[in-house]
């Protein structure tokens, strides 16, 4: 049996979805507070991080730093 690539499953499942549907995916993952929802959020974060330039990464880090205070 071929190994499932969770990154591809998550990203292809959201590809072409509206902002509202993606927002619902994120909010549902947060609301459920279940650990099995965390990989999906991590995959989205990874995709954002990989497509961000240095300035955008700095902004993201500022948001994270602010959220942790």
- Residue 5: pLDDT band with limits 50, 70, 90: confident
* pLDDT given for residue 1 in this prediction: 55
* pLDDT given for residue 18 in this prediction: 96
Over residues 45-55, the pLDDT tens digits come to: 999 999 999 99
- Residue 32: pLDDT band with limits 50, 70, 90: confident
C-alpha 6/C-alpha 40 separation (Å) is 8
Burial group, residue 33, by CB count within 10 angstroms (0-12, 13-18, 19+): exposed
Mean pLDDT of the chain: 91
* CA terminus-to-terminus distance, the chain: 45
Q: How far is CA 24 from CA 6, 15, 18, 19, 62, in A?
A: 19, 14, 10, 9, 24
48: its two tokens: 């954002």
What pTM value is reported for the model? 0.79
């Amino acid at each position: 049996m071929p190994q499932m690539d969770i990154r591809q499953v998550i990203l292809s499942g959201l590809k072409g979805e509206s902002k509202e549907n993606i927002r619902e995916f994120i909010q549902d993952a947060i609301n459920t507070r279940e650990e099995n929802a965390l990989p999906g959020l991590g995959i989205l974060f990874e995709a954002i991080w990989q497509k961000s330039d240095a300035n955008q990464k700095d902004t993201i880090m500022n948001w994270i730093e602010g959220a942790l205070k």
